[in-house]
Structure 1
Amino acid sequence: MLGMINHEPAKPVDGSSVRIGALVPLSRPGWAEAGRHLLAGLELAAGEVNEAGGIDGRPLELMVRDTAADPARATAAVEELAGLGVAALVGEFHSVVARAVAGRADALALPFLCSSGVLDALTDQPTDRVARLAPAQSVGWRVYADFLLAAGHRRIAVAADASLYWATGTRILRDHLTSHGGSVTELDLRTFDPADALCDALAASGASALLLLAGYPEPAVSIVRAVRRDPRLAGIQLGAPAGQPELSAWSDLLGADGAAVPFLRYLPERFGPLGARVETALRERLGEAPCFVGFEGYDAVTVLAAALREHGTDRARLAASWPHLEVEGTRGPIRFSRVPGIDVWQWAWAPIQVADRDPAEPGCFRVLHSA
C-alpha cells in the first residue's frame, strides 16, 4: 500500500519529538530563493504529519540549518545534527553541497534523503544510507540537450563558472551533443567579462545558443543583459538548464529580457489531487507560485515520515528501508531502486520538463519539452 499523508482522525501528538535535520540554503552565496521554496515544502509536509498524529503520537521536529551553499558549513551542520540525535537528514538544493553532506552522513551512519542535488556521483562509493528524489544530472541535462537538438541548435556555447557542478554539466552536454553532430564551446567566466569580452567571443564562436552555467543572480543576470543589448547576438538562444529563470527574482531583475530562457524543472504536465492540493498550500505559504523545489521538499518529508512510521527511528533500520518504501508523492509514486552508475538509492525518475517564461507574459511559464 502506498504510504500517504491522510486526514483520518489522528492520534494526539505528545511526548518527545522525532528529530529530522533539514539542510537548506537560506543566505548568499546560496540560491536563497530556492532555499525558501525548499523550506516551505519541508515545513508544509512536517505540519501535515503532525496534524495527522505525528510519528506514532510523537511530533516530527525539523531542525533547520542554513548551508549558504558552503560544503564546509554543511558538513559542520551534519556533525552537529548527528550529535543532537536526529534520526535522519533531509534537503539541500546545491549539488556540490549535497555531495559533501552525503559523504559525511554516510561516514556517520546517518540516513540522508537528498531532495534536490543532482550530481550523478553523490557519493564516492556505493552506500545504503543515502537516497535521492531529484533526477541525476546526466538524465536531466541529456533531456535538455535533446531539446536543443530538436530546436535546431548544433553549435552551443556555455558561459561557465568554475565548479564541479558546472564542469560536469558541460561534459554531459558536450558528450551528448557531439554524439549527434553538435559541438560545445566553453567560455570560461574567469577569463571573460560579461559586458564585453564574453559577447565578442560569443559572436566569433558561431554558436546559435548560449547556456548560462553561472551563479545567480550574478553573473547570470549581467550576462543576459549584455547579450540582449548586443545587436550582433540578436538571434542567440539563451538557456539556463540549472533553473535560474524559474525563480521570481529573475523576472523582477530582468523583466522581458528574462523571458524565453529555457530551463529544467522536475514537474508533471498535470498534477494529480495531491500535487494540486500541495501547490495551492505552497502558494498560500510563499505568496507566489511555488517552484519545483518546494515539491521536492514536501515529497522528501512525506517519504521520511512513511519510513519512520514503518521502521521507527533507529538509523540502521531507516537506512535499510529505502528499497521497501512506496510513497505517493506530489509528482507520482515514489519508489527507490539501484540505477546503473548511481551509487545511492534513486527515484528513477521524477518527471522532467524544459520550460521558459512566456515573452508575452513573463509571469507565466510555457512547457517546451517533457520527458
Structure 2
Amino acid sequence: MSTPSSTPGSARADGSSSSVRIGALVPLTPPGWVEAGRHLLAGLELAVREANDGGGIDGRPLELVVRDTAADPRRAAAAVRELAGLGVAALAGEYHSVVARAAAAEADALGLPYLCSSAVLDALTDGPTDRVARLAPAQSHGWRTYADFLLAAGHRRIAVAAQPGVYWASGTRVLRDRLAPRGGTVIPLDMGALTPAGVCDALVDEGATALLLLVGHPEPAVPLVRAVRRDGRLAGILVGAPAGQPEFAGWATSLGADGAAVPFLRYLPERFGPLGARVETALRERLGEAPSFVAFEGHDTVTVLADVLRAHGTDRADLAKAWPHVDVEGTRGRIRFSRTPGIGVWQWAWPPVQVVDRDPAAPGRFRVLHTEPARTRYQ
C-alpha cells in the first residue's frame, strides 16, 4: 500500500523525524486513474522542493509521505490511519471523489487536518467539519458551468451515458437541475445495460444532439467514442466529457483524432500570472509533457499547507483552526477559504473554471470554449 516518502527527512536517535511531515494520498496504480495521480504527485513534490529551498518550516525540512490509494476507499482510510500514526501534521491530495470522501471521514474522526486537492463531490463529508478544506470546485459549481456551455451552444436534448456510482449520479443530478428550468432535457443511458452500438441506436431514437460520457477511461469511454464517431447517423452529435477524461495524454494516445472536439471541464485561468507561468515550466520539465490542471492543484495544496504550517505551527488542532485565515497566492489565483452553502468543508470559492476541448486540427493543443463569469468565481 505504501510508496517511499518523496522528500525524506533526517531521523533523531529516538526514531522520530526532524522533518515536518505531510501525508499525501495519490492514485498511483490501477484501477486508480494513474495519469491523474502522476500529475498530482508531480505538483505536490515540486511545491515541497520549493518550500525546502525557501528554508522549510522554520528551518525544518518539509517531507511528503506518499501512500497509493489505487482508487480504493478502504485502502485510503487505512492509509489515513497509518499516516496519522506516523505523526504527519496534515493530509493532502487525492483525485477520486469517492476515495477522498472516505479519507475525509477518517481524517475528521482522527482530528487530522486534510486539504483535499482534486475531488469535487459536493458531499465530501457527511456534515460540517473544521478539519477538512478543499481546493477543487464543488461538482455542483463546475458542472453547472458545463450545463451553461451546452445551452449556449444550442443543445436541449442531452443524453448521459453513465455508469453506476455516487459521483456519476451526482453529476447527472446537477446537469438535470441546471438544464430542466432552461428547456433542456437529460436522457439517461444505462451503461450497465447498453453496448456502444446500443448507445448509438438510443441516441438516434431519442433525437439527442449531445452525448455526455459519465464513464471511466479507458473502458468504456474509448470504445464508446469510437462507436459514435463511426456511426454515420450521428455525424453532427456533440460528444462531451465533463469529468475531464480528455485532459490527459492517454486520451489522445488511445483515440487520436476521434478524441478531439470532446469538451471537458478544466480548472485553469485563461492566462497564468508570473507564479503560474514559472510553475508550469517546472512541471513540464518534471513530467516530460504539458501539466494538467491536476498538477497545479497538487502544487497549490502544498503551497497552502506550507504557509499554514509556518504561520500556525504543527499542532493539528491549531492547523484545523487556520483555514479561515488562509490568504495565499496560488498558481491559479488568490486562495482563501470560506463556508459555502451546501458544502460541509472549508472551500476555495472558486478556482477558475473553463470548458475546453482538443483542437481537431492539432489534438495536442487545447481550445477554450467557455469560461464562467468572473463574478461567480471569487466571493
Output the TM-score relative to the length of structure 1: 0.95
CA distance in 2, matches of 1:224, 1:249: 14
CA distance in 1, matches of 2:102, 2:205: 39
Equivalent in the alignment of 1:82? 84
1:268-287 correspondence runs (5 A): 268-287=269-288
Q: Does 1:128 align with 2:169?
A: no
CA distance in 1, matches of 2:91, 2:163: 29
Q: Does 1:176 align with 2:178?
A: yes
Note the C-alpha offset of 1:245: 0.4
DSSP-derived class of the 2:182 partner: coil
CA distance in 1, matches of 2:248, 2:120: 18
CA distance in 2, matches of 1:135, 1:290: 19
Deviations, residues 280-334 of structure 1 (Å, cap 9, x unaligned):
0000000000000000000000000000001111000000000011100000110
CA distance in 1, matches of 2:217, 2:70: 13
Residue 249 of structure 1 aligns with an amino acid whose one-letter code is G
DSSP-derived class of the 2:24 partner: strand
CA distance in 2, matches of 1:39, 1:161: 27
Note the C-alpha offset of 1:199: 1.2
DSSP-derived class of the 2:269 partner: coil
CA distance in 2, matches of 1:198, 1:365: 27
Residue 155 of structure 1 aligns with an amino acid whose one-letter code is R
1:91-170 correspondence runs (5 A): 91-170=93-172
Residue 36 of structure 2 aligns with an amino acid whose one-letter code is A
Note the C-alpha offset of 1:172: 0.4
Identity %: 76
DSSP-derived class of the 2:336 partner: strand
1:219-258 correspondence runs (5 A): 219-258=220-259
CA distance in 1, matches of 2:148, 2:121: 19
What stretches of structure 1 of length at least 5 have no aligned partner?
Answer: 1-12
Note the C-alpha offset of 1:335: 0.4
CA distance in 2, matches of 1:332, 1:206: 41
Residue 226 of structure 1 aligns with an amino acid whose one-letter code is A
Note the C-alpha offset of 1:148: 0.2
Note the C-alpha offset of 1:161: 0.7
Q: Which of the residues 51, 54, 67 maps onto 2:53? A: 51
Residue 17 of structure 1 aligns with an amino acid whose one-letter code is S
Q: Does 1:208 align with 2:209?
A: yes
Residue 257 of structure 2 aligns with an amino acid whose one-letter code is A
User: Runs of 4 or more off by more than 2 Å in structure 1?
Assistant: none
Note the C-alpha offset of 1:348: 0.4
DSSP-derived class of the 2:363 partner: strand
Equivalent in the alignment of 2:35? 33
CA distance in 2, matches of 1:297, 1:171: 28
Equivalent in the alignment of 1:367? 368
Equivalent in the alignment of 1:262? 263
DSSP-derived class of the 1:357 partner: strand
Deviations, residues 55-76 of structure 1 (Å, cap 9, x unaligned):
1111111010111111111001
Note the C-alpha offset of 1:217: 1.2
Note the C-alpha offset of 1:146: 0.1
CA distance in 2, matches of 1:217, 1:16: 43
1:313-332 correspondence runs (5 A): 313-332=314-333
Larger mean Cα displacement after TM superposition, 94-103 or 265-274: 94-103
DSSP-derived class of the 1:179 partner: helix
Note the C-alpha offset of 1:116: 0.5
Deviations, residues 65-95 of structure 1 (Å, cap 9, x unaligned):
1111111110010011111111110000011
Deviations, residues 178-224 of structure 1 (Å, cap 9, x unaligned):
01011001101100012x21211121111100000000111111110
CA distance in 1, matches of 2:285, 2:24: 22
Deviations, residues 20-55 of structure 1 (Å, cap 9, x unaligned):
100001111111001100000000000011111111
CA distance in 2, matches of 1:27, 1:34: 11
CA distance in 2, matches of 1:72, 1:115: 19
Equivalent in the alignment of 1:8? none
Aligned-residue CA RMSD (Å)? 1.0
Residue 144 of structure 2 aligns with an amino acid whose one-letter code is R
CA distance in 2, matches of 1:106, 1:335: 21
Aligned residues: 358
CA distance in 2, matches of 1:162, 1:284: 38
DSSP-derived class of the 1:122 partner: coil
CA distance in 1, matches of 2:25, 2:358: 29
Note the C-alpha offset of 1:351: 0.3
Equivalent in the alignment of 1:5? none
Residue 348 of structure 2 aligns with an amino acid whose one-letter code is W
Equivalent in the alignment of 1:20? 22
Equivalent in the alignment of 1:6? none
DSSP-derived class of the 1:306 partner: helix
CA distance in 2, matches of 1:290, 1:205: 38
CA distance in 1, matches of 2:32, 2:163: 15
Note the C-alpha offset of 1:274: 0.1
CA distance in 1, matches of 2:105, 2:205: 42
Residue 338 of structure 1 aligns with an amino acid whose one-letter code is R
